[in-house]
Amino acid sequence: MASLTIRNLDDSLKRRLRIRAAEHGRSMEEEAREILRQAVGRERPPLNLAATIRSRVEQFGGVELELPARGPISDPPSFD
């Protein structure tokens, strides 16, 4: 486990953290960990852009696209 030191913490903020920790029956350190857990949350899987876009637009229905027929690949240009 890693450690974190927070310097220059306002006295009023430290007092509020101490009060909040007491209200929840925790130490100030455990209360700070819980606040960080809630704020940062759990790791999420990597964002899949295609799935995200699909989930936002699928409520509007599908779209049929006409795809042009594929032909043979043309020869690359010659720069002789």
- pLDDT at site 6: 92
- End-to-end C-alpha distance for the chain, whole angstroms: 65
Domain boundaries, the chain: 11-56
In percent, how much of the chain has pLDDT > 70?
A: 100
Q: What is the pTM of this model?
A: 0.53
Residue 63 pLDDT > 80, yes or no? no
What totals of helices (H) and strands (E) does the chain contain, helices first? 3, 0
- Rounded to whole angstroms, the Cα distance separating 27 from 10 reads 18
- Rounded to whole angstroms, the Cα distance separating 48 from 6 reads 35
pLDDT in tens, 18-32: 999 999 999 999 999
Q: Which two tokens stand for residue 11?
A: 């006295």
Residue 39 pLDDT > 80, yes or no? yes
